[in-house]
Structure formats: structure tokens, C-alpha cells
Amino acid sequence: HINVLIDCDPGIDDLLALTYALAHPQVKIKGLVASGGNTTTEQVARNIRGILELAGRQEIPWELGAAHPLAQELETTPETHGPRGVGYAKLPDRTTPTGKSHGEGARLWIDTVSQHPGEMIGIVLGPTTNLALALQQNPSIVQKLKALYIMGGAINHRGNTMPTTEWNVHSDPEALHSVLRAYSQPGLSHYPVLCPLDCTESIVMTPGHRQALVAGGGTVLEAVDQALEFYMQFHESDGLGYIAHVHDPYVTALAINDALQDIGDTDAHILGSSTQTVLDVELDGKLTRGQTIADWLGRWGREPNGRVLTSTEPEKFFAHYIHTVRAAYAR
């Protein structure tokens, strides 16, 4: 099996990602961090608890991330994910339990990775705020993580938020900047794999994929279907047609399948490939704050500090995703 920590902001496609990770028989979720982003940190935590309860997996540890990004106010996106962050899904509604406090998300990163050195796969599906805080408090996590995947950025592609910015990076540019700085050291056993819109927008869920996924129902699949209805309506209103870009489940499946291949699992799928480069985030640009840049030609003369996902296998992904989720949650 493989061990993962998922830092996310459900969020409709985050919800689809969690559903997949919960369904995968070889995945042990060692921790979930609730990050502010698509909705507030508290509402994200409620959504995480809701899906864990629906799936009967309340034993999985989770913590509240920071209430705000590192250097700006929290901005949420109700038009994309609905006022509660999960579209029309009706998750069991829970208030945030007492005894949980903001910022514990960074501690969960540090504790989980330190308890399983060389084993943890980190997957970030929202802003990188909590990972940045964890790395600031304990830089040795870079050496202790086995792999790190981040959904974010737009490299040679238009943004989905501002002309050159992708939502997760737009939501906390300083955080990704700080994470990339922590990786600016030669000889590391892994570098973060940034999965930008260039690639994740090739993962287009059609009504046909959705029908194949949810047919036959079950409470988890009903929630997924209700969430997707909102998400597809949003994409349609945004001029993209009645489809959905499902960034986060793809990145999660990529991370998990890469890790399974790494331990010699011959059933693991090759869902994409990445290229090592020098990455940075624009923090000052009046028009371009939050833009992600890859120095493909080495003009900055700096050491590589990351990888960029450069190819995907959308239909292989959908077949694997639908099969995995249905095996666990179809009636």
C-alpha cells in the first residue's frame, strides 16, 4: 500500500478526489488538511467531515489549516463550487468540532511526514498555504517526503482566474513561492510535480463519464452526482459547455499511480509524464501576480526546484477513476 496526506479545499473536484482516494484499496490516507480556498477553512472542514461520514471513514485524521493565506485576505469562489463548496451535494452537516484550531494543518503535515520518513506522498489540491507553513517550521520535511504533487499554475496556458493565473496559486502566491524556495537545493530525491491547467484542462468530464460514474447510486455517488450538476452548470455558464474540468481527481490518481509503479505494482497506470525545470511565482507584477513561470531554457541560471506535468492520458484516467470509485461505492 501507499501512504498519502491530502491537503485540499473541497470544492467539487476536491470532493471527487477524496472519493477516489477513499475508494482505492491500496491507499492509506494518513491525514487530511482542510485548506481555505474554494470556501472558508471551516466550511472545507465540514465538507471533509461530511464525506468521511458518508463513506464511513471517520477514523481518518484531519486538521484545520490556516484561516488565511500567507499575505492576503482569503477569497472564496461560490460561483464555481456553490456557497457551501460542494455544489448541490447534501453532505451530513456538521459544525466544526471544538478542540480543533487553525494552523493545526501545518502540524499534521510535520507529524505525519516525520512519523513515516521516506514513505509519504503529499498531494495538495488547494492553495499551498499549510505546506508552506509546515516547511517554514520544519524544513526537513523536504527530505522526509517521498513525493509531492501540487495542482496549480498555468505555465504556457491562459489562467482560469486572471489572464495568467490559476485559482490555487492566485489564492496564495506567497505560499507556492515559499514551497518552491524550500526545494531550491540540489541532489534531492524528489522535486514537487506541479500539475498546471495546461494539463489538467485536458481532463474533461462529459455527461457520459458522469453517467457511467454515478449509475446505480448509493449515497456517496448521489452526493458526487449532485456536486457535479452544479459544477457542469458552472462550466456551461463560463462558456465551456456542459462539462467539468476535474483537475483534482486527476492529480490524485496520477500521484497514487506513480507511487504504485514505484513500488513495482504492475497494475498501476501511467497517467502522465513530467519534466524537471526551474519554477517560480510572480509576486509583484501589477497584471501578473500569481503567474507561474518555468525557466525551460535555464536563462535564470538556477538549480532545478521542481517538475512540470507535461502530458496526460485523459481516457485512461476516466476508465481507472470510474472503475475504482464504483467498485467501492456503487450499490
Among 63, 172, 174, 248, which residue sits at the site for ligand BDR (rule: CB under 6 A)?
248
| Region near Ca ion per CB under 5 A, out of 108-116, 117-125, 194-202, 232-240 | 117-125
| Region near ligand BDR per CB under 6 A, out of 24-32, 160-168, 218-226, 298-306 | 160-168
Is 14 a binding residue for Ca ion by CB under 5 A? The answer is yes
C-alpha gyration radius of the chain = 18
Least distance (Å) between residue 266 CB and Ca ion: 31
Site string for ligand BDR, 78-117 (x = CB under 6 A): --x-------------------------------------
d(CA 135, CA 150) in angstroms, rounded, equals 15
d(CA 93, CA 205) in angstroms, rounded, equals 27
Is 247 a binding residue for ligand BDR by CB under 6 A? The answer is yes
Q: Extract the C-alpha cell encoding 41.
A: 477553512
Is 85 a binding residue for Ca ion by CB under 5 A? The answer is no
Amino acid code (one letter) for 321: Y
Is 126 a binding residue for Ca ion by CB under 5 A? The answer is yes
The item of ligand BDR, Ca ion, none sharing an interface with residue 166, based on CB under 5 to 8 Å by kind, is ligand BDR
Cβ count near 189 (within 10 Å): 10
Q: Which of 9, 13, 11 is nearest to 243 (CA)?
A: 13
Among 3, 11, 133, 179, which residue sits at the site for Ca ion (rule: CB under 5 A)?
11
Nearer to Ca ion, 16 or 134 (CB): 16
Among 151, 175, 205, 228, which residue sits at the site for ligand BDR (rule: CB under 6 A)?
151
Among 121, 125, 228, 259, which residue sits at the site for ligand BDR (rule: CB under 6 A)?
125
Nearer to ligand BDR, 27 or 86 (CB): 86
| Region near Ca ion per CB under 5 A, out of 54-62, 179-187, 209-217, 247-255 | 247-255
Is 196 a binding residue for Ca ion by CB under 5 A? The answer is no
Is 21 a binding residue for ligand BDR by CB under 6 A? The answer is no
Q: Extract the C-alpha cell encoding 226.
A: 449532485
d(CA 246, CA 267) in angstroms, rounded, equals 23
Q: Extract the C-alpha cell encoding 320.
A: 481507472
d(CA 139, CA 189) in angstroms, rounded, equals 15
- H-run or E-run covering 312: strand 306-312
CA pseudo-torsion sign 153, 171, 85, 66: positive
Site string for ligand BDR, 33-52 (x = CB under 6 A): -----x--------------
DSSP string for residues in 263-311: TT-TT----EEEEEE-EEE-SS-TTTTT-EEE-TT-TT-----EEEEEE
Is 13 a binding residue for ligand BDR by CB under 6 A? The answer is yes
307: which residues sit within 8 A by CB, 6+ positions away?
191, 192, 193, 194, 274, 275, 276, 277
Is 234 a binding residue for ligand BDR by CB under 6 A? The answer is no
Is 14 a binding residue for ligand BDR by CB under 6 A? The answer is yes
Least distance (Å) between residue 159 CB and Ca ion: 15
d(CA 37, CA 165) in angstroms, rounded, equals 15
Largest Cα separation within the chain, whole Å, is: 56
Least distance (Å) between residue 14 CB and Ca ion: 4
| Angle at the Cα of 217 from the Cα atoms of 38 and 47, rounded to 5 degrees | 25
Summarize as ranges the residues that interact with Ca ion (CB under 5 A): 11, 14, 125-126, 248
Summarize as ranges the residues that interact with ligand BDR (CB under 6 A): 11, 13-14, 38, 77, 80, 125-126, 151, 160, 166-168, 247-248
